[in-house]
Structure 1
């Protein structure tokens, strides 16, 4: 089994926006969604597989991350966000349920101007009262507040104007507020006494599709003929159940899936070559892969060891062998995702990472720090060898291969490194609890560099060893970084954002709390045999992965082949 594309709501979500009052329509443009007011064109069913899950359990609650709708990323076809974000480009979004928004002067309140005339799938109007209800529901039930938004209140001034107030500045959480929160109908949800455990078996949403049939082996959605943007041209969508990546990839290779989000070994031979005209893939860089280091204990409580390990890694080999060239080697020690944030990398940190192991630099760093090789050829200090284990799921074949490669690369350079293959559940539990030495892991993603650094370095999301962390799994605690992240979150001044970003980026570079490795791919395979209009490298109008919340945006741009 290989890793899946990262579910965006599983990571800390936020976005830095650098203007006080913004109109959503000014921030992006794309082809108009493929729709028709006369009803969807009947064609073959669009079959999507974004995560192997079996069996399916009947739960379409948009707030519950373990609901089947969220596990297979179907939620955005039923419920919708205020804005649609294209996180493959910095701060790029499109108006959706909201036409525009404005912040107050401190970033503690946002006023949303809704698109008029939107209706729920049962025909009732969607108004600002529904928006206010959704955020008040999240405030009242913390289990529904996946991003931990500090909501104070939400009110509706009229049918199209809602204001949400927070206890602190939320400029950097614009993505979470407008892009990762699905609006629900008050007239349906107000009667639910336990909304966190309600399964929502017959969802009523504003989205372009409604639930048609459900079973443990899969479910289908049918086009909403009354959708506010006009019924989609795709008339039916199928989400079949697959036991594993292996069975899902077999179905993909056999032409049974139109759109998938899998790691596929030797994809040009196993998938594209079977139908070169129609079988395609587009793997944009969507995150930065790092080697997380537990800085609370030896050997990584010594910054010099961390720097030396970074110099010892052969990033080119990891990219070519571990990731079969799907994930390019990182070039900046800032960790910023490239090319998306290339214009925000401090000039002295551009192209400063070696592509291959630098043995001379390793020796220079370690000897200057007082280490010497012992009789076994291992770096040691005060009779204690530099020894650590890299822990990753053995079923995540690419990560496990990369961990093995790192151990092989570092051993000749004087480090004693082992690899622990574990289950995904144990890996997650150990990272949360801080019970590990090092681990390869993807980084947080979003429309701003803030998401990356907040996920890696914000000690406020971390926890003491043995307690559950939601971020900063290596327990890195730097007061200067904490101060910079706080200042960054509290401003929308571009110059101030650049200043604070520089502080954090240089800390990432010099302190090396995580070793920057590669730019992680967003897995995305698609067929043009039955549908056209897919996002491509030349027309990346939205993140192409079949994930919430942007999956809906792609579907609305698809046209069945006659």
Structure 2
């Protein structure tokens, strides 16, 4: 299996380290103490395994950077724990009693990186931009904003919209009106020269690496980490080799023998945080143009029951993943909200092949002489897209293929570059695809549901959906989400019937086949930088690809010594 190969690779890391160092140096990514770079330059690897394509548009599903670092939200919400939101461009907010007006105070000491003063008008422009462009409106924003004066914004909603608060405040990244008003198509423009209010600015871009530099005029003070350099490597093994060589300072991805990180990689520490839910995404909706066996809910349910999640966790994820609920409330954080009406509170860790066989039999599938299920003469064969170099996901797909082959479903892995994979995901040009469902701006499952299960966030196959990539559309779920949006998040009793509707329906239809709750596994250079989140102080989700979470960490870091 892949991790066995990785462990064999670990023994050759010393030999490979020189190669990795040479590659990073060629990309302008290495240096030494006093070299003008390494002491205050943080080198990060976000998992990019092919050349970067310029895209700093904070609303694009294919962006490479920007949210939090260059373009700021109004507040930062910690999705790991229930902290009060931290001010960014906003300093205070309040709701009226009915949840129909959100009043926001924005700071008066922020400027855009081109020197133009930031005002409430920029916030209003950004919110209006989202209203006018459905493809940009990934949070379901339905308000009307107006600038009361330069530091106050009033957002009114046609009906109670309490749950919109963290969306507006924490997941919409404010852009400069004076520049964006001239962008012909803000949906597709890659924003090659981004101008923001954030702690960092774009310094240099190359396909193999790009660099952000500290904003000397940042309202919060110039960050202590003067440069952040993001590099493209060939995959997880290259990331582990770069750690061994000491040429990257922070990555979020698997390394062999994670429990011995400090022994195997002197000076580095690890953070393991279960949060994002790994799933087999399916292009599920034939009415929206999806084609293939995966459009049959029976096929999706059979795969769900046939998986051996205990084996998957061991072989692909070094036992760092945790159980997952088929209703996609987060185990642990959301325990009180998990529906008692679910058939399975958590997905079975051991395969239930009898149940899987029953589901297929009831749908008209029979097993042929070759051991593969078929219906109307068509074998049950599926492809699953995975990013080349993502060894944990590749191992997971290979393991699932073996498990399903023994059961009677043929699964074929298709490795793609990240750019190809991301494009296929957005356009629904896939049968199955391995990815994870991410959380929203606040620690509440409503946001994940509103992102991945709302009809508002999907599109016909061939058009870009963001982020309801599974093309799921269900009137009962849409109605439940609309009702939840109107209820104060603290009113659990009033919310639960609607949460029950969402969870039971998505368990029944299963457009995203639950695999495991994946842990973000980050390794960071504690010998060179201080201030990373610790087990006792997870002040932000510690994933280098987390946005805007990584930016919150960057501004906490300081070069050691």
Q: Structure 1 residues 316 and 104 mapped into 2: Cα distance closer, same or farther (>3 Å)?
A: same
Q: Does 2:380 match 1:387?
A: yes
Q: Does 2:459 match 1:457?
A: no
Q: Is the 8 A contact 1:445 1:451 kept in 2?
A: yes
Give the Cα separation in 2 of the matches to 1:304 and 1:149: 30
CA deviation map 1:341-378 (0-9, x unaligned): 22211245475432111234335555566665454445
Offset at 1:540? 0.9
Give the Cα separation in 2 of the matches to 1:180 and 1:134: 12
Give the Cα separation in 2 of the matches to 1:195 and 1:509: 38
1:236 corresponds, among 222, 226, 232, to: 226
Q: Secondary structure at the match of 2:86?
A: strand
Q: Structure 1 residues 113 and 285 mapped into 2: Cα distance closer, same or farther (>3 Å)?
A: same
Give the Cα separation in 2 of the matches to 1:218 and 1:299: 40
- What is residue 154 of structure 1 aligned with on the other side? 145
RMSD over equivalenced CA pairs, Å = 3.8
- What is residue 340 of structure 1 aligned with on the other side? 333
1:488 corresponds, among 484, 488, 505, to: 484
Offset at 1:394? 6.1
When normalised by structure 2's length, the TM-score is 0.77
Q: Is the 8 A contact 1:47 1:256 kept in 2?
A: yes
Q: Structure 1 residues 494 and 206 mapped into 2: Cα distance closer, same or farther (>3 Å)?
A: same
- What is residue 559 of structure 1 aligned with on the other side? 558
Q: Is the 8 A contact 1:400 1:421 kept in 2?
A: no
Offset at 1:115? 3.8
Q: Secondary structure at the match of 1:134?
A: helix
Q: Secondary structure at the match of 1:442?
A: strand
- What is residue 506 of structure 2 aligned with on the other side? 508
CA deviation map 1:537-558 (0-9, x unaligned): 3211111112331222112222
- What is residue 411 of structure 2 aligned with on the other side? 418
Counterparts in 2 of 1:237-316, with a 5 A limit?
237-245=227-235, 247-267=238-258, 272-276=262-266, 278-293=267-282, 294=284, 296=286, 299-300=293-294, 303-316=297-310
Offset at 1:500? 0.7
Offset at 1:527? 1.0
Offset at 1:82? 0.4
Q: Secondary structure at the match of 1:355?
A: coil
Q: Name the count of aligned residue pairs.
A: 509
CA deviation map 1:489-517 (0-9, x unaligned): 33335433222111111122333333211
Q: Does 2:548 match 1:549?
A: yes
Q: Does 2:537 match 1:539?
A: yes
Q: Is the 8 A contact 1:62 1:79 kept in 2?
A: yes
Structure 1 unaligned spans of 5+? 3-41
When normalised by structure 1's length, the TM-score is 0.77
Q: Is the 8 A contact 2:280 2:515 kept in 1?
A: yes
CA deviation map 1:263-299 (0-9, x unaligned): 4344456x643444x2112131232112234364775
Offset at 1:84? 0.5
- What is residue 48 of structure 2 aligned with on the other side? 52
Offset at 1:113? 1.7
Q: Does 2:514 match 1:524?
A: no
Q: Structure 1 residues 319 and 129 mapped into 2: Cα distance closer, same or farther (>3 Å)?
A: same
Q: Secondary structure at the match of 1:283?
A: strand
Give the Cα separation in 1 of the matches to 2:126 and 2:401: 49
Q: Secondary structure at the match of 1:287?
A: strand
Counterparts in 2 of 1:73-472, with a 5 A limit?
73=65, 75-89=67-81, 93-104=85-96, 107=99, 109-120=101-112, 125-139=117-131, 145=136, 147=138, 150=141, 153-165=144-156, 170-186=161-177, 188-189=178-179, 192=182, 194=184, 196=186, 197=189, 199=191, 201=193, 203=195, 205-210=196-201, 218=209, 220-232=211-223, 234-245=224-235, 247-267=238-258, 272-276=262-266, 278-293=267-282, 294=284, 296=286, 299-300=293-294, 303-330=297-324, 332-347=325-340, 349=342, 351-366=345-360, 373-379=367-373, 384=377, 387-393=380-386, 395=388, 396-413=390-407, 415-424=408-417, 427-446=421-440, 447=442, 448-465=444-461, 467-472=463-468
Q: Is the 8 A contact 1:315 1:355 kept in 2?
A: yes
Give the Cα separation in 2 of the matches to 1:558 and 1:108: 39
Q: Is the 8 A contact 1:299 1:386 kept in 2?
A: no
Q: Structure 1 residues 417 and 502 mapped into 2: Cα distance closer, same or farther (>3 Å)?
A: same
CA deviation map 1:173-206 (0-9, x unaligned): 43442223233455x5377464844846473x43
Structure 2 unaligned spans of 5+? 3-37
Offset at 1:83? 0.4
CA deviation map 1:509-532 (0-9, x unaligned): 333333211112324221111111
Offset at 1:244? 3.1
Q: Structure 1 residues 478 and 528 mapped into 2: Cα distance closer, same or farther (>3 Å)?
A: same
Q: Structure 1 residues 121 and 320 mapped into 2: Cα distance closer, same or farther (>3 Å)?
A: same
CA deviation map 1:288-346 (0-9, x unaligned): 1122343647755654554333222111111111223232343x332222223222112
Q: Structure 1 residues 108 and 384 mapped into 2: Cα distance closer, same or farther (>3 Å)?
A: farther
